[in-house]
Homo-oligomer: A and B are copies of this chain.
Amino acid sequence: MSFHFEVLKKDIQSGARLGRIMTSHGEVQTPVFMPVGTQGTVKALLPETLSELGVEMILGNTYHLYLRPGHQLIRDLGGLHHFMHWDKPILTDSGGFQVYSLGALRKITEAGVLFQSHIDGSRHFISPEIAVSIQEALGSDIVMCLDECTPYPVTLREAEKSLDLTLQWAVRSKKAAKNSEQALFGIVQGGMYPDLRKKSVEKLVEINFDGYALGGLSVGEPKEIMMNTVVNINPLLPFDKPRYLMGVGLPEDIVACVDHGVDLFDCVIPTRSARNGLLFTNHEKVVIKHARYRDDPLPVDRLCDCYTCRNYSRAYLRHLFMAKEILAMVLNTIHNVRFYMRLMERIREAIREDRYLEFKEKFLSSRRLIDRMTLK
């Protein structure tokens, strides 16, 4: 099969790893951050722009694409890569998390999930086998197993029951996955219970996946629980397989989690924040609508090399945002995605040069400083 992962280097002092994922759509350097392309587009950006920003892999949402325009349509039109004109790797989620988020609109049984479309209320059923076959139709490079996202908080008993279902589904997913061009990742659940997480890892490793994800995090639990899970569980995962922390996150979370050996991240934060006018820099939080930027001739970040910062003032970006112009979304998204890509470049460089801990300390203390400045 064409999927392959290798750890190129481990940082001497920390768990951080530099790696490479190979797929039939090209290589990805890890640690990698994947912008989210929910509906067959990373909102507001052309695929060529994504490439220019340094994006090597994106995430597609199976739930959304299944409902609209439909996975069979996408397959008939040549697969998701061709459909959206993106020829680099794509990871698709299983739809499990989106269905979980539907709350009252879904019902989970051993067979699978019954749910109603958020678009038109129509009824649908997804099983582990169906989730795999949808992702096969989409033609993504990395396929995720359907899992049940264990909520927070939850009792031990409920978490155990939920984990057992996810593990059964993992077995069925593995059996269903036929396409040797696609990697299949298992998802570690178990909620906030270390023993369940450990059991989850053991069972998944037995099944033998191409990669492992930590799921059920960023669902409202205290950040400490997320970090504890990453710190305790990641070392149990096979060293030679990629580790994916789903739905994370803020720059500081990414930097902290790389320290414990996470290789893949995805999150809507850079793109969604951009559309809300929240711009990332290494020095301050820029809320572009603030009156203080009204006549500010400086770029968002003088040290940023993105197209937006090279060509536009904060005053112009504020104007576009206040006037609700589409270009505001485009320029802001370019900046934030580039911020994340530069962050990942710096992370990889620090690992390459065996100074990850030092980089992490500096980075986290500068983020704390920004937070304090913002509170004042």
Binding site for B on A (CB under 8 A): 39-41, 43-46, 68-69, 73, 76-78, 83-85, 294-295, 297, 311-313, 315-316, 318-320, 322-323, 325-327, 329-330
Contact = CB atoms under 8 A, between A and B. Distances in A.
Given A84-B316, A322-B68, A327 B73 contact: no
Q: Which 4 A/B pairs are nearest by Cβ-Cβ distance?
A: A69-B319, A44-B326, A41-B327, A39-B323
Contact of A294 (B45, B69, B294, B312): B69
A44 B76 CA distance: 30
A46 B294 CA distance: 21
Contacts of A85: 311-312, 316
5 contacts: A40-B316, A44-B330, A68-B323, A69-B294, A85-B316
B294 A41 contact: no
Contacts of A68: 319, 322-323
Given A69-B319, A311-B85, A315-B69, A327 B76 contact: no
B329 A39 contact: no
A170 to B, nearest CB: 31
Contact of A327 (B44, B294, B316, B325): B44
Contact of A330 (B39, B46, B77, B320): B46
A297 B77 contact: yes
B325 A43 contact: yes
A85 B39 CA distance: 31
A330 B42 CA distance: 13
Contacts of A40: 316, 319-320, 323
Nearest to A65: B319
Contacts of A329: 326
A315 B84 CA distance: 10
A38 to B, nearest CB: 9
A43 B43 CA distance: 16
B295 A76 contact: yes
Contacts of A327: 41, 43-46
